[in-house]
Structure 1
Amino acid sequence: MNVLMHLSDLHFGAHDPQVCTAAQRLAQRLGVEMVVVSGDLTQRATAAQFELAARFLQGLHARSTLVLPGNHDLPLFAWWMRWGRSYERFAQQFGLDQEPVRQMGPFYVVGVNTTRPWRHERGSLSAAQIEEVARRLAHAPPGAWRIVASHHPLVPRDTADQAHRPRRADVALQRWQAAGAQMLLSGHVHEPGLVQPSPGLWASRAGTAVSRRVRHGSPNSLLVLSVEATGAVASGQARFAARWDYDHPKGEFACVSRTLLAP
Structure 2
Amino acid sequence: MIDIPWFIAGLAATALAGYALGKRTSKDVRDQQSNAEPAAAAVKPVESDTADALVDPEVEALLREQRETLHQEMVHTISHIRHDWMNDMQILSGYIQLKKYDYLAPYMEKIRLKLHNESVLGKLGDPSLVAYLLTFRTECKDFELELEFPQEIHIGELPLEDGAVERTVKHVLESFRRYAREYVHEPNAMTIEMAKEDEGLLIDFEYNGQYDADKLKRELDEQTLLAVVEDIYIEACELEEGLVSLAVRLPYRESDKTR
Q: Report 1 or 2 for greater relative contact order, CA contacts < 8 Å, sequence distance ≥ 6.
A: 1
Larger helix share, 1 or 2: 2
- Tell me, yes or no, whether TM beats 0.5: no
Relative to the length of structure 2, the TM-score reads: 0.23
Question: Normalising by the residue count of structure 1, what TM-score does the alignment of the two structures yield?
Answer: 0.23
Q: Which has the higher strand share?
A: 1
Larger radius of gyration: 2
